[in-house]
Every structure is written in structure tokens, then in C-alpha cells.
Amino acid sequence: MSQIGKQIVDFNVQAYANNEFKEVSKADVLGKWSVFFFYPADFTFVCPTELEDLANLYEDFKATGTEVYSVSTDTHFVHKAWHDASETIKKINYPMLADPTGVLSRGFDVMIEEVGLAERGTFIVNPEGEIVSYEVVAGNVGRNAEELLRKLKALQFVAANPSEVCPAKWKEGNETLKPSIDLVGLI
């Protein structure tokens, strides 16, 4: 069942960010673009490579008015311990959401019930709290933050320019298409 257009679940969870614990809720997400980046668990193997990739582009995401939230079923205490123990994870400045009850993992439909961990799911959420893009990949394959940023910018562009569409591999500043009967069969 498609997640596109689905309103995100109401939530209030603990997070670790900028050397402190804080609460993050749906109310904090509404009104701006958000990326929810689910991963199986702290202290694992592929996960830190992905989280570092996001950390390296975090300022680029922020420049688009977007907040990035990484999410696993670990507690906020485990997020802090991992942050303190790993040189890779120390680079992270975005909020690391704790989801030990699975409210987010189940709400975004990425919970692996048999093991209590989240799939590698990536969700872009618009300011109205609706999912406008998502991808779920096998646990043994890492994701690419550059491609995520490209898709985010395309989604923001078409949200601001609803009469235009972004073709494959579109990048900011590239030409878009204006769907019309005149284009049918010419592309």
C-alpha cells in the first residue's frame, strides 16, 4: 500500500542532539520539510556509514529548510553512548530519535516485528506532515545522501511550481518540463 500522501503518525519521542536530550513531536515537524531516516540499530556496521554520509551533507539539508531525523529503536541513552564512543557518529548534529516502543517505526510501516528493529527506510515529509517520498532497502545495502538531497530539492521545486515536473536525474537549476498535450510522444 502506498505511503504517498499519508499523514505521519502523531508522536512524542526522546532524542539526542547537540549533547543533550530533548523531546521531538509531530508538532515540531509540521511547518517545515523533514527527512526521517530509519536504520536498524546503533553500534552496527552499515548504519554508521549512512549516518556519516547524512552528517556530511547536513548543512546542505538545513539550507533547504529541512530537518533531518535519524530513527532507530534504540533509546536516547544508547544514541548518546554511541555518539560518545564513535568518531564517525560524533560528526552528527541532527537529532537522533529514540523509538524503543516502535511508535515511529510502526507508524511509517518499517518495523521488523520479529526482531524489533526498523528497516532501512527513508521518508521525505512536506510541511503539511504528508509523506511525499519514501524508499525502503534491504538491511545490507546503504543509502546515498546526495541522491536523497537531490530528490528533496526536486520535491520542493514541484511543490513551489505545481505546473512543472522534474525529469530523471534533474538537479537544481536544470530545465524542467511543463506537461501538456504538445509534449505527448515528443519526449
Whole-prediction pTM value?
A: 0.94
Render pLDDT for 126-185 as a digit per residue (tens, 0 to 9): 999 999 999 999 989 999 999 999 999 999 999 999 999 999 999 999 998 887 767 666
Render pLDDT for 63-102 as a digit per residue (tens, 0 to 9): 999 999 999 999 999 999 999 999 999 999 999 999 999 9
Per-domain residue ranges for the chain? 6-143
Share of the chain above pLDDT 90, in %: 91
For 6-143, CATH number out of 3.40.50.2000, 3.30.230.10, 3.40.30.10, 3.90.1170.50 equals 3.40.30.10
Q: How far is CA 5 from CA 27, 83, 88, 156, in A?
A: 18, 34, 34, 15
Quote the cell numbers at residue 99: 523509538
Quote the cell numbers at residue 54: 547524512
Coil, strand or helix at 46: helix
Tell how far CA 63 is from the center of its chain: 15
Render pLDDT for 17-48 as a digit per residue (tens, 0 to 9): 999 999 999 999 999 999 999 999 999 999 99
Listing DSSP states for 126-144 in one string gives -TTSBEEEEEEE-TTS---
pLDDT at 27: 98
Instruction: Report, as residue numbers or ranges, the catalytic residues.
Output: 47
Place of cell 552528517: 55
Residue 1 pLDDT exceeds 90: no
